[in-house]
Each structure stands twice: as structure tokens, then as C-alpha cells.
Amino acid sequence: MYINLYPNRQLQSTKKTVLGLGLFCATGGAYALMRELFWIHDFRVGWALSSALLTLVGFLSIAVAMDKIRLKDAYLSITPERIMYRLTLTGRERLIRWDNVQAMRMTEHVVIFDQKEGAPRRMRLGLIQQPEMALHVSRSLMLAAIEKGIPVNGKAARPELHA
């Protein structure tokens, strides 16, 4: 099962916001840099560097909004062997193997995978922008765990479901 956590409409809305922020930063930074270089008689290195940094952040934001710098997909993929997910557009991809999951604990805001080997892994559902999508993700994980016979919140899966 593959779930796209960032629908196209929401992605376009976010890109518009990033474009507006980028234009604001780029024009403000460029104006401040030009002012520092050409109109102010006492050159201030700190102000010039800050202005240049603000301009750079603005141009990077514009590049992201115009897809010149591609963002990664935010998704959840559940297969019989593993769970792979990236909850944010700029986050790392995470992999959890079902055969390493001993138990799962779920709350409204986090899913904790207790592993047989290694420390527990946390999936923060608060990073998912839409609450309905976060609920869908948690229910999908719960159903997959029950199907695999993995205890969820301390309750063992019923044997007749995965027999």
C-alpha cells in the first residue's frame, strides 16, 4: 500500500507560499545589499553579509517553488516485508522491517515501533499536515500490524485474523 502524504493541491498551495516568501526575501535582501554597497558611505561587513544571505535564501526559496530544486515525496509505503516512509518533503526516508518489530504503541500523535534489535523507532504523526491523513496512516499501520500478529498497545492480535 502506498499513501501520498502531501496531496498535489496542498503541495501547490505550499509552493505559492514559499514563492511569496522567496520573492519577499530576495527583493528585501537585494535592496539592503545595494543600499549597503552603493548608498551608505560607511561600509558595514556584517550588514552586507546578512543582506547577501537573505538574498540567497530568497533565491533558493524561489527555486524550490518553481521546481528548479525538486523536493522529495512525503509518503508511507507498507509491504509484507517492510514499512518505508518520509513524513516531510525535506525529511529522511525511514525503513522498518516487519520481522524486526516486536510490538507497536499508538497514540493520537505518535506511533512507536518496539524493535527486537535496537531502540524503539518513533513515527511522529504530527509531521503529517492533514489530520485526516494522519488518522489514515495510523489505522493502516494498526491493521497491518494486526494482520502480521504484532501486538498493538499491549493487546495481542486475535489468532483468527492471521491464521
CATH number at residue 141: 2.30.29
Residue 153 has pLDDT above 60, yes or no: yes
Residue 160 has pLDDT above 60, yes or no: no
pLDDT band, residue 39 (cuts 50/70/90): confident
Looking at the structure, tell me whether residues 94 and 143 fall in a common domain.
yes
pLDDT, position 71:
76
- Across 116-161, the runs of DSSP E, i.e. the strands, are 121-124
Count of domains for the chain: 2
Higher pLDDT, 154 or 33: 33
Looking at the structure, tell me whether residues 102 and 149 fall in a common domain.
yes
Looking at the structure, tell me whether residues 83 and 55 fall in a common domain.
no
Nearest by Cα to 101 from 46, 149, 53? 149
60 located within any domain: yes
For 154, the domain range is 75-161
- Grid cell digits, residue 109: 500523535
70 located within any domain: no
* 127: Cβ contacts below 8 Å, ≥ 6 apart: 87, 88, 91
Looking at the structure, tell me whether residues 55 and 94 fall in a common domain.
no
CA terminus-to-terminus distance, the chain: 21
Last residue of a domain, one of 12, 43, 65: 65
Q: Residues 55-108: pLDDT tens digits?
A: 999 999 999 899 888 777 888 898 989 999 888 877 888 999 999 999 999 988
Query: How many residues does the structure list for the chain?
Result: 163
Last residue of a domain, one of 65, 92, 112: 65
pTM > 0.75: yes or no = no
Last residue of a domain, one of 45, 65, 85: 65
Looking at the structure, tell me whether residues 89 and 140 fall in a common domain.
yes
